[in-house]
Amino acid sequence: MSDLLPPDAEEMRAWAEAARAAFPAPFAALSSDVRVVVEEWPDDALLDEMKIESAFGLTGLYEGAALTERSVDHPEPPSTVTLFRRPILDEWADRGDVGLRALVVHVTVHEFAHHFGWSDEDIARIDRWWE
């Protein structure tokens, strides 16, 4: 990343992949089949479906069935973690109290937590990030 330009989608994705690579056992193995993508913005249909008024309100998304909801009889196709680059950049600029890479890692870990079957409430109990 240059001093004048924010990271592009590929650099942000590389940060997310590095975060996943650092997961401890058994989470590293359990996350290996999840796709990680970076898009500029969430689309309007997704925002409508989630009842989110502003695209700036969604920095990441987990799509798929949590591991706790899968079974041998009903395996799921690979899941996806999507990071939304522009909302992350906006949140980083607004916060001013966290590094950009740290924010990307946080959003990545939060979305993977949903893959592991944790609810937002479960995550909040162990991660006081937003306080």
Structural domains of the chain, with CATH: 9-126 (3.30.2010.20)
Alpha helices in the chain (DSSP H): 9-21, 27-30, 44-50, 85-95, 100-115, 120-126
The pLDDT value recorded for residue 35 is 95
How large is the average pLDDT for residues 12-37?
A: 92
The pLDDT value recorded for residue 129 is 57
Distance, in Å, from the CA atom of 111 to the CA atom of 109, rounded to the nearest integer, reads 5
- Please give the share of the chain, as a percent, with pLDDT higher than 90: 56
10 exposure class (CB count in 10 Å sphere: 0-12, 13-18, 19+): exposed
Question: Which residue has tokens 């997961």?
Answer: 23
pLDDT of 86 above 90: yes
How large is the average pLDDT for residues 67-77?
A: 72
pLDDT of 105 above 70: yes
pLDDT of 13 above 60: yes
Distance, in Å, from the CA atom of 4 to the CA atom of 12, rounded to the nearest integer, reads 16
pLDDT of 43 above 80: yes
The pLDDT value recorded for residue 1 is 54
Three-state SS at 91: helix
The pLDDT value recorded for residue 66 is 83
The pLDDT value recorded for residue 61 is 96
Chain center to CA of 101: 13
Angle at 41 between CA 35 and CA 42, to 5 degrees: 70
Provide the sign of the torsion angle of the four alpha carbons 118, 109, 54, 130, taken in this order: positive
63 and 18 Cβ atoms separated by less than 8 Å? no
* pTM for this predicted structure: 0.87
The pLDDT value recorded for residue 67 is 82
The pLDDT value recorded for residue 100 is 94
